C-alpha cells in the first residue's frame, strides 16, 4: 500500500473517464493519458504512479503530488470453509461496511455494498437492523472491487491461484438506488473498457423496488437488474419490504418491464427469500407465477439466512423444492441460490458491518419516508 498522501490529493479511484480526462488535462496532459492511467489502475491494480512505466516521468511525478489511488481500509478479513471471504472495511471512525468474495468453478463474484447500513427496514434483513449511516462514495464503491482484485493477486500461489473478480453484484449492505448519484458513476467504471471492463451481464444491481429510480436507471445504465420481491401480493409485501407501501407490486413490475424494453435486457431476476410459513406456500407460488409468467423474468429463491434476534425461520428443503417446481410447472424460470459463507455470516442478508451514529431514523412500520437522492 502507498503511504498516506496529503488530504488535498485527488483520489483517482471513482473518477469516471470524462472526469479523469479533465483532471489529466489540468495537469497539462493529453486525454489518452487518462486511458493509460485507468488501465494501470483498474486492469493491473496498480496504485504506485512511479511503477506506471509508459507514462512520462514528469507526469508521474506530478501525479504523485496531486493524486492518489486510495481504496477503503481493511479492518478484518474472514475466510469461510467454502472459499468465500468477507472483508470488513472502514468507512470513517468506527463506521464499517462489508464486501464478500464468492469463488465458483467458472466465475468469481464480488458482492459489494453501496451504503453504510440501510434505511429500508426489510423485516428479514440483518443490515436493516443496523439502521442507516451514510452513502458510500463512488471511490468507496469501485474501491471494493479494486481492493478485492489486489488482495487476491496478493495470495497467488501458482496452483491454487484465486481468480480475479469476474462478476459484481450490488447486493451487499444498502439500497443502491437510494445512492443513485454515486452508484451510477461506479457502474460506468465497472463497465468501461479502460476500467474493470466487465460485460453488462456480469454486473447486477439489486433493488428493493425504488420505482422512480428504476426509470432513471434505464436512462443511464444497462446493467442486469435484480429486484427483491419476496411476496406475491401487496398485503404481505407491505410487511416484509415496507417500501412496497409507496411503490406497490403492479407499479414495480411495470418499471421492470420498462427497464428490459429500454435496455434490451434479457430478463429481470426476482429475488425471493423463503420464510417458513410466511411466503412459501403452494398458493403463494401460484400467485407469484401468475404475476411473472409470460414476462422476461426469472426467480432466484433464497433460503433465509438467520441472524440473532430474527423472528423468521428458513423454509424446509422440501418447501423450497416444491415452491421451485410449482413455478417451473407454470412456465416461470426458477433457481435456488446456494448458501455460501454462512459460517462467517457472509450470506445474503447477514451483512451487518458496523453502523454506529445513525443519522437517519429507520423506517418504522407506520412511516414510509426514505431518504433518497433527488
Per CB under 6 A, residues contacting ligand SAH are: 122, 124-126, 171, 175, 206-208, 228, 271, 273, 302, 304-305, 348-349
H or E element that contains 205: strand 203-207
Minimal distance in Å, beta carbon 202 to ligand SAH?
Answer: 17
CA–CA dist 157, 153 (Å, integer): 9
> Is the CB of 52 or the CB of 142 nearer to ligand SAH?
142
Please say whether the beta carbons of 114 and 170 come within 8 A: yes
Minimal distance in Å, beta carbon 267 to ligand SAH?
Answer: 16
SS3 332: coil
Q: Which of 122, 125, 256, 348 is catalytic?
A: 348
Minimal distance in Å, beta carbon 347 to ligand SAH?
Answer: 7
Grid coordinates representing 366?
407506520
Grid coordinates representing 149?
482484485
Please say whether the beta carbons of 332 and 297 come within 8 A: yes
User: How far are the Cα atoms of 348, 356, 374 from residue 170, in angstroms, in the given order?
Assistant: 11, 22, 20
CA–CA dist 222, 217 (Å, integer): 8
Minimal distance in Å, beta carbon 94 to ligand SAH?
Answer: 23
> Is the CB of 12 or the CB of 349 nearer to ligand SAH?
349
DSSP, residue by residue, 9-70: SEE-TT--HHHHHHHHHHTT--THHHHHHHIIIIIS----GGG-TTS-HHHHHHHHHHEE--
> Is the CB of 71 or the CB of 349 nearer to ligand SAH?
349
SS3 222: coil
- Catalytic, 111? Answer no
CA–CA dist 226, 300 (Å, integer): 9
> Is the CB of 21 or the CB of 140 nearer to ligand SAH?
140
Minimal distance in Å, beta carbon 302 to ligand SAH?
Answer: 4
Which residue number places its CB atom closest to ligand SAH? 349
Q: Supply the Cα-derived Rg of the chain in whole angstroms.
A: 21
> Is the CB of 59 or the CB of 132 nearer to ligand SAH?
132
> Is the CB of 87 or the CB of 304 nearer to ligand SAH?
304
Q: Which of 98, 140, 175, 326 is catalytic?
A: 98
CA–CA dist 81, 344 (Å, integer): 9
Grid coordinates representing 238?
407491505
> Is the CB of 149 or the CB of 315 nearer to ligand SAH?
315
How many Å separate Cα 82 from the centre of its chain? 21
Please say whether the beta carbons of 227 and 210 come within 8 A: no
- Catalytic, 348? Answer yes
CA–CA dist 122, 231 (Å, integer): 12
Beta-bridge partners for 299: 270, 334
Query: What residues are labeled active site?
Result: 98, 348
Amino acid at each position: 500500500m502507498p503511504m498516506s498522501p496529503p488530504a488535498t490529493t485527488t483520489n483517482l479511484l471513482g473518477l469516471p473517464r470524462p472526469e479523469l480526462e479533465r483532471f489529466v488535462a489540468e495537469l497539462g496532459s493529453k486525454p489518452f493519458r487518462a486511458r493509460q492511467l485507468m488501465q494501470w489502475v483498474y486492469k493491473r491494480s496498480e496504485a504506485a504512479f512511479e511503477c506506471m512505466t509508459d507514462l512520462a516521468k514528469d507526469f508521474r511525478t506530478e501525479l504523485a503530488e496531486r493524486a492518489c489511488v486510495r481504496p477503503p481500509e481493511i479492518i478484518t478479513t474472514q475466510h469461510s470453509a467454502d472459499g468465500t471471504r468477507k472483508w470488513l472495511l472502514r468507512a470513517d471512525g468506527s463506521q464499517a461496511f462489508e464486501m464478500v468474495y464468492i469463488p465458483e468453478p467458472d466465475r468469481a463474484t464480488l458482492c459489494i455494498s453501496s451504503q453504510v447500513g440501510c434505511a429500508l427496514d426489510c423485516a428479514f434483513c440483518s443490515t436493516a437492523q443496523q439502521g442507516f449511516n451514510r452513502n458510500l462514495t463512488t471511490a468507496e464503491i469501485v474501491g471494493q472491487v479494486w481492493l478485492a482484485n489486489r488482495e487476491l493477486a496478493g495470495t497467488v500461489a501458482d496452483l491454487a491461484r484465486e481468480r480475479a473478480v469476474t462478476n459484481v453484484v450490488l447486493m451487499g449492505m444498502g439500497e443502491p438506488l437510494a445512492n443513485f448519484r454515486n452508484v451510477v458513476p461506479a457502474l460506468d467504471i465497472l463497465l468501461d473498457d479502460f476500467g474493470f471492463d466487465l460485460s453488462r451481464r456480469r454486473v447486477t444491481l439489486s433493488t428493493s423496488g425504488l420505482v422512480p429510480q428504476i426509470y432513471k436507471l434505464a436512462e443511464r445504465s444497462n446493467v442486469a437488474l435484480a429486484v427483491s420481491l419476496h411476496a406475491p401480493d401487496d398485503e404481505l409485501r407491505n410487511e416484509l419490504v415496507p417500501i412496497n407501501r409507496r411503490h406497490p407490486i403492479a407499479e414495480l413490475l411495470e418499471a421492470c418491464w420498462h427497464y428490459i424494453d429500454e435496455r434490451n435486457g434479457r430478463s429481470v431476476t426476482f429475488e425471493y427469500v423463503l420464510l417458513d410459513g410466511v411466503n412459501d406456500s403452494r398458493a403463494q407460488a401460484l400467485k407469484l407465477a401468475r404475476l411473472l409468467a409470460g414476462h422476461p423474468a426469472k426467480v432466484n429463491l433464497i433460503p433465509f439466512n438467520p441472524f440473532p434476534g430474527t423472528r423468521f425461520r428458513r423454509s424446509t428443503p422440501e418447501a423450497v423444492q416444491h415452491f421451485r417446481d410449482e413455478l417451473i410447472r407454470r412456465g416461470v424460470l426458477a433457481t435456488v441460490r446456494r448458501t455460501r459463507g454462512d459460517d462467517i455470516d457472509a450470506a445474503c442478508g447477514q451483512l451487518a458491518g458496523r453502523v454506529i451514529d445513525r443519522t437517519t431514523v429507520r423506517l418504522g412500520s407506520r412511516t414510509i419516508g426514505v431518504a433518497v437522492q433527488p
